[in-house]
Amino acid sequence: MPKRLISPFRISADQPELVRSQISALARQVPILYVILILNVLLTAIMHIGVAPLWLSVLLPFPIIVIGVMRSISWVKLRDKVLPHDVAVQRLRSTVYLSGVLGAVLCGWALALFTYADSMMRLHSAFFVSMTVIPCIFSLTHLRAAALLTAIVALFPALAEVGSPFDDAT
């Protein structure tokens, strides 16, 4: 049973053409994903300055933005390169792993901000989650494992926790 649960998240190394195609498609789409991520994190952080603690509104978003810029640049550099098969497989595996980690961090950050917000800012936090995660899922469609992991780790818990952003509005 656990093998069946893990199998959708594995990267198959025995199909070199598929791996090459996935890297090529992701090299075009992932930089756009990171631009969306960076802009949404930046706007959400700015909106919460003065409302949430400084570490939550400024210090935590900074490394997320730096990671986004670095990863975006590294994917842009891959656009015209042909990677050795083992390097390409490792790149796909690290992308799956990072999609889960970043998804969890961003979801946790948005939910932490949610506790300091009024109803309109909660609506913005819900919007942040959806307008970050959904484009990320679509950008990762060529790497099904990363798209699926992003959806599970970030979108579903956030939607379950957020509920209605107007719960306290009467």
CA–CA distance, 92 with 95 (Å, rounded to integer) = 5
- Convert the pLDDT of each residue in 48-99 to its tens digit: 999 999 999 999 999 999 999 999 999 999 888 888 999 999 999 999 999 9
Give the pTM: 0.82
Which burial class, exposed, middle or buried, applies to 163 when counting CB atoms under 10 A from its CB (0-12, 13-18, 19+)? exposed
**Residue-level pLDDT at 13:** 76
Q: Judge whether 95 and 146 are in contact, CB under 8 Å.
A: yes
pLDDT value of residue 41: 92
